[in-house]
Amino acid sequence: MNIRVLLLATLALILPALPLRAEGETFQPLPQVTLEGFTQTKAKSLDDYTGRALLIEFFAYW
Amino acid sequence: MTGETPKDTDPWMKSLDGKYAYAYERSGKLMSELGCSGYPSAALVNASGMVIWVGHPASIPNNLIQEAIKGALPKPVYEWPASASAAAAALRKKKYVDAIAAAAKIPEADGGPAIKTALEAVVSGKVEGLKSAREKGDLLTAYESAKALQKELEGLPQAKDADAIADEISADAQAKKIMTAQKRLREIRGQRLGKKNEREKAIEDLEKMIEGFPDTYLAKEAKSTLNGLKQKK
């Protein structure tokens, strides 16, 4: 069995157990967290966006 | 927002000519508390500071964007002049009566009247959002908003609207049952449901909601969640 087949077989076993991503409407206060290094903005904390609509995207580079 | 480092992120962002604001949160606490487990994920926060949607950034419903910006300030507080610092501080604490009173003292040359009008619009937007939730039968949202607004709007005439809705819902036994079911619905939506028995229990509970509370906002939402779950099976 080559490595690719082994990886695919492993994935096939793991995938059904992987969590489903939470998606949909909710209504909850924005959890209080400390963010650092605000870039490309004059904001220094999430509180600086009080009264504004905000879209927070969680991203990773690759 | 990213959990990585400026060393990795800044050059990457520059290479893509990304213009939007970003920041770092290494612990991943915000992501996990919002139930987000993959990249990219997103959370939409309305002008009242409530998270109203989470999911993949490409699938944000347009109507929720409209809802989120309702009553939003035209300028963020970090762009306000120094003379508005007291109003900004009160706003950050969600003390609207104090924020509006402080805004009334900001000189006209610094945009005081516009800031005051904007704050009053934020208050109106909050009350409209509350009434809208109540009208569409989203009792849990209406009740939670009303409780929050009772504090935030203390000292303002609009606090009476929040009082009335909170009192009306808390005095209604059927509304309490619906809110209990709505909390379970929220839990189901926030769960990852990776295990078969978890999915089956969620489906069973959703079917009970649809049968037990026909023709309600809850039943409509439960149906939508149930369909989504069945498709993922």
Nearest chain B residue (CA) to A26: B52
Confirm whether the ipTM is greater than 0.90: no
Candidate ranges B171-180, B182-191, B223-232; pick with highest mean pLDDT:
B171-180
Distance from CA of B41 to the nearest CA of A (A): 5
Q: What pLDDT was estimated at residue B54?
A: 92
Mean predicted lDDT score pLDDT of chain B: 90
* Option in A22, A43, A61 nearest B78 (CB): A43
The pair of structure tokens assigned to B18 is: 């990304």
Q: Tell me the per-residue pLDDT of B124-171, one tens digit each, with 9 for 90 and over.
A: 878 888 898 899 899 998 999 899 899 999 999 999 999 999 999 999
Q: Kindly determine whether residue A58 and residue B40, on different chains, have CB atoms separated by under 8 Å.
A: yes
As a whole number of angstroms, the distance between CA B57 and CA B55 comes to: 6
Backbone angles phi, psi at B70, to 5 degrees: -60, 120
Please give the C-alpha separations between residue B21 and each of A16, A26, A45, B102, in angstroms, as whole numbers: 36, 24, 12, 29
pTM here is 0.71
| H or E element that contains B181 | helix B173-190
**Edge-to-edge strand list for the sheet holding B41-45:** A24-29, B50-55, B41-45, A54-58
Contacts A20 to B, Cβ<8 Å: 192-194, 232
Q: What pLDDT was estimated at residue A22?
A: 58
Q: Kindly determine whether residue A48 and residue B37, on different chains, have CB atoms separated by under 8 Å.
A: no
pLDDT at B115 over 60: yes
Q: Kindly determine whether residue B55 and residue A50, on different chains, have CB atoms separated by under 8 Å.
A: no
Q: What pLDDT was estimated at residue B105?
A: 97
* Option in B24, B50, B122 nearest A35 (CB): B24
Nearest chain B residue (CA) to A15: B194
Q: What pLDDT was estimated at residue B58?
A: 92
As a whole number of angstroms, the distance between CA B198 and CA B42 comes to: 24
Q: Kindly determine whether residue A52 and residue B73, on different chains, have CB atoms separated by under 8 Å.
A: yes
Q: Tell me the per-residue pLDDT of A2-60, one tens digit each, with 9 for 90 and over.
A: 444 443 343 333 333 333 445 788 877 787 788 999 999 999 888 889 889 999 999 98
Contacts B26 to A, Cβ<8 Å: 36
As a whole number of angstroms, the distance between CA A23 and CA B60 comes to: 10
Q: Which amino acid, one-letter code, is at B169?
A: I
Q: At what angle do helices B217-232 and B196-212 cross, to 10 degrees?
A: 150
Q: Tell me the per-residue pLDDT of B25-51, one tens digit each, with 9 for 90 and over.
A: 888 888 877 878 788 999 999 888 888
Specify the residue for token string 């109203």: B52
Best of B44, B51, B124, B151 to substitute, by most chain A Cβ atoms within 10 angstroms, is B51
* Option in B41, B47, B52 nearest A51 (CB): B47
Share of chain B above pLDDT 70, in %: 99
